[in-house]
Structure 1
Amino acid sequence: MSQTHAVKYEREIPEILSQLGAIHGSVQAAIDQRGLPRAIYHLIQLRASQLNGCAFCIKMHLREARADGETQVRLDHLTVWRHVGDFSPAERAALAWTEALTRIEERSDYTALRTELRAHYDDAQIGALTALVGMINLWNRLQISKH
């Protein structure tokens, strides 16, 4: 086999992918149980995928967001969310958290970000949001490694 071809994870580690899929489903269920709007779920997954440059995930999450009623205008404006008025303060806090946890930079002020999150979410919801950010970053990295 050529060394330039991507690893076929579906063939090589199907049991791991299956387990990750189950965990992902549990994270989604946990978010739903904590009263978080479905829009937050889609915005987080899409924004992290944009930052990571994961074309596969971007296409998938755009399709899912539209199916759940997200507007095209908000989807178009997600990359510039800080500069438009399309997103609520709660969504903006979640997007800032998503970016900080996706980029993981020393200059991020996690205390300030958590303070802003707590203005809109309880600690269980913040935990669910954090798990979602972690999961989408994992999926992005798996997909990107196949580019």
Structure 2
Amino acid sequence: MTAFQVPHRMNFSTVAPKVFKAVLALDAAARDGLDPVLVELVQIRASQVNRCAYCIDYHTSDARKAGESEERIYQLSAWAESSLFTEKERAALALTEAVTLLPEGVSDEVYGAAAKHFGESELAQLIALVITANAWNRMNVTTRKTPGTQ
């Protein structure tokens, strides 16, 4: 049995290097001050919602390097039904989904839960992280970047 190969459309970093570098800079700035494990959980969850195979692969690898357990990575797609995530992580994941699925809006309840667990500056960093994850997802899904490619 051979794996299905999704045809790659372009190498965005080569074709639009200024844009790519700007998103890299935004990504680095958004991570500043956030827990590295939480960063990866948010990146993975946004990527799951957006069905970005490249980013799911990339961030699950980074999550493992940051010390995340296999069990929590496996249950991340069903975090709301799992008992493995803290209230703070659950608030971050709910906000991640709300910002990722923006046409549905970000409810006061979701925003308030996140604000309860994150100070204003940290909450701004978290929102920026979700925005960045979505930018990467949209770039990689559109160009069909696949796991294992540069």
TM-score by length of 2: 0.86
In structure 1, what residue type is equivalent to 2:128?
A
What's the offset of the Cα at 1:133?
Answer: 0.2
Q: CA–CA distance in 1 between the matches of 2:125 and 2:72?
A: 23
Question: Any gaps of 5 or more consecutive residues in structure 2?
Answer: 1-6, 145-150
2:29 counterpart residue number: 26
Query: Which letter does structure 1 place at the counterpart of 2:138?
Result: R
How far apart are residue 110 of structure 1 and its match? 2.0
CA distance, structure 2, for counterparts of residue 124 and residue 42 of structure 1: 19
User: Any gaps of 5 or more consecutive residues in structure 1?
Assistant: none
Of residues 41, 44, 48 in structure 2, which corresponds to 1:43?
Answer: 41
Residue type of the partner of 1:118?
A
In structure 2, how many angstroms separate the alpha carbons of the residues matched to 1:144 and 1:23? 19
2:62 & 2:11 partners in 1: Cα distance? 25
Q: Specify which of 67, 71, 74 is matched with residue 73 of structure 1.
A: 71
Give the total of aligned pairs. 138
- Structure 1 stretches of 4+ with a deviation exceeding 3 A read none
Of the structure 1 ranges 4-13 and 70-79, higher mean CA displacement relative to structure 2 is found in 4-13
Partner of 1:123: 120
Taking only the aligned residue pairs, the percentage that are identical comes to: 32
> 2:95–2:106: 8 Å Cα contact kept in structure 1?
no
Structure with larger RCO (C-alpha < 8 A, sep 6+): 2
Deviations 1:28-67 (A, max 9, x none): 22xx2xxx32221111000000000000000000000000
2:92 — aligned with what?
94
Q: Which moved more, 1:115-124 or 1:42-51?
A: 115-124
Q: Which residue in 1 is equivalent to 2:140? A: 143
- Does the Cα contact within 8 Å between 2:88 and 2:114 map onto a contact in 1? yes
Q: CA RMSD in A?
A: 1.5
Whether the aligned pair in 1 keeps the contact of 2:99 and 2:106 (CA below 8 Å) is no
